[in-house]
Structure 1
Amino acid sequence: MNNSIDILVVSTKTITNNLIKPGEKEVYLTFDDGPSQNTSKVLKILKDIDINATFFVNGHPGYEDVYKQIISQGNVIGNHTYSHDYKTEYSSILSYNQDVDKLNSYLEGIGIPKPTLMRFPGGSNNTISNNYGGKDIMNQLIKEAIRKGYQYIDWNVCSGDSDKTTESKDVIIDNVMRGVKGMKFIVILLHDSKPKTTTAEALPIIIKNLKEQGYVFKTLSINSPVIHFK
């Protein structure tokens, strides 16, 4: 699986739908590329602190109990494609849809309803897809996702935990805390795949710091305020 983030952020659009209460600061923790053994660590932290997050998962047979635990603890699962293989899924609309449907079928097979949320691998404005499906492939996929009833979600704060195979815990914390300055509504990109041990280590400190700044932790839904790169 390719865990790199190959994006070029041209603009970020926040669609609020008038759901943010006056004076309230909201934070949405999102985890990509799991589940793995690190997901279990993240889930324990979330449970101990009594907050929830949104997990944009891939297909990882053998972790059925972890997928179920994500849901049973009150968290949300979104579709991040089954394979996270850029070359395959971004070669055409058909290939992308097949990979999305494969994950949906897998999740439904273990008793988890089909997700209504989606995150494109690399984000909705990634440039790596150009190499496989052409320069317009993402515009086409966005239209297709909306047509199928999905809400696609990007982010406006990046933890940087995918900049290296395993990034320093302190760097992850610093990236998040610098990223949230002055922001009222934040969607944080984190990862819970196998190498991301330091993300789990950084999480309690990130949560503590954000709570001290008055942020309310929420999970995403199809009606939530969202971040779109394009």
Structure 2
Amino acid sequence: MTVKKEVYLTFDDGIQAGTEEVLSILKQTNVPATFYLIGKHLFNAYEKDRHKCMWLLNEIYQNHSIGNHSYYHGNDEYRKYYEEGICVDDTWKCLTVLQDFEKNEDELRWYLQELRDNFRANGNDIHVTRKTVKLARLPGSNSWVYSKKTGDAGSDLVSKLPGKQTGRWATKLFDIGYQVFGWDVEWEMNFDFYNEALQLKEDLYCRNGKDNPDSRLMNFDIDMYANENVLKDRLTETWEQVAGKVLKLQKDKIVLLMHDRAFRRGMAFAGKAEETEKLRALILYLKGRGIIFKTLDQY
């Protein structure tokens, strides 16, 4: 039996380990998605391998949609982030949530301009038909503030705000032109790297004192492909469970939240399939049920 639903696949925290694998599955299954990018992860990817980073960014820009997920992701200290802002370097320079998103917007614009310049230098140009809607998602917050017809200033405003502090910033982002989306369904996963980051911060605080900011708290990078990390930040639900949640939800439009790194290679052991195969299975199953896939600029 087919169902009349639109599903919006969204992937958070790129560009990072797993982004390439996700893009490969989306290409094979011919479905679009929205990628919410984090500035510090994009910076790390660019520093590691400039060519590969720009290739991935081009794949996203040409075939999918890009959303702003902040530059620092609140340094994973969400309460402080939404109440006070965050310290971003050893000089005690602090950013508000709005400034953090504006910084990421500037960074994304810089990388995309370099992408265009590289294409033109080779006698080509970038032609994209739908990149006019500004999308944002708050770190760690399922906040929504958007127009019923995305990008249509004359349409009715829809707000779903989980808390006073996060709602305040979601509204501010909307006021400067963003459509802010949360999610309806999440493909649940472990957050081992997040817990380890909190422990690292606690250790550094104990060693240096909370009044001594340490740059390692702001932008440390992890090799997620390393053998000791292969089991971390992995899916805790089967694709069948996620499909069940999507189909049971009484909505015509469903936003599905996932994270790039959950689908990075390295989980094929003891007869189990790679996580990417689970993503492929979910997409093909939903396609078979008549689901239509769209990007959030088409919401």
Name the TM-score class by shorter chain. 0.7 to 0.9
Structure 1 letter corresponding to 2:58: K
The structure 2 residue matched to 1:68, chosen from 35, 58, 63, is: 58
Aligned: 1:167 with 2:242: no
SS across alignment from 1:27: strand
Structure 1 residue runs of 5 or longer lacking an equivalent are: 1-22, 126-134, 226-230
Aligned: 1:216 with 2:206: no
1:82 matched residue in structure 2: 71
Supply the distance in 2 between the matched residues of 1:55 and 1:168 (Cα, whole angstroms): 18
Higher relative contact order (CA 8 A, sep 6+): 1
Supply the distance in 2 between the matched residues of 1:37 and 1:25 (Cα, whole angstroms): 30
Aligned: 1:182 with 2:258: no
1:56 matched residue in structure 2: 36
Instruction: Count residues in correspondence.
Output: 190
**How far did residue 179 of structure 1 move?**
0.9
Supply the distance in 2 between the matched residues of 1:121 and 1:199 (Cα, whole angstroms): 24
Please tell me whether the aligned partners of residues 16 and 260 of structure 2 are also in contact (alpha carbons under 8 angstroms): yes
Cα deviations by residue, 1:195-227 (Å, 9 ceiling, x for unpaired): 543653421011011011110111111xx43xx
Instruction: Spell out the pairing of 1:73-112 with structure 2 (5 A cutoff).
Output: 74-84=63-73, 85-87=75-77, 89-92=81-84, 95-111=96-112
Structure 2 letter corresponding to 1:70: I
TM-score (norm 1): 0.73
Supply the distance in 1 between the matched residues of 2:248 and 2:142 (Cα, whole angstroms): 24
Please tell me whether the aligned partners of residues 29 and 188 of structure 1 are also in contact (alpha carbons under 8 angstroms): yes
Aligned-CA RMSD value: 2.6
Change beyond 3 A, Cα 1:148–1:67: same
Structure 2 letter corresponding to 1:167: R
Cα deviations by residue, 1:13-34 (Å, 9 ceiling, x for unpaired): xxxxxxxxxx732111000011
Larger radius of gyration: 2
Structure 2 residue runs of 5 or longer lacking an equivalent are: 47-52, 86-94, 114-130, 144-162, 193-231, 265-273
Aligned: 1:203 with 2:195: no
Q: Give 1 or 2: higher helix fraction.
A: 2
Runs of 4+ in 1 over 4 A off after TM superposition: 112-115
Cα deviations by residue, 1:148-191 (Å, 9 ceiling, x for unpaired): 1111111111110246643347x241331121123432111110
Please tell me whether the aligned partners of residues 34 and 67 of structure 2 are also in contact (alpha carbons under 8 angstroms): yes
SS across alignment from 1:28: strand
TM-score (norm 2): 0.57
Cα deviations by residue, 1:55-97 (Å, 9 ceiling, x for unpaired): 011022134312222112x100000111112436324475111
Supply the distance in 2 between the matched residues of 1:209 and 1:148 (Cα, whole angstroms): 38
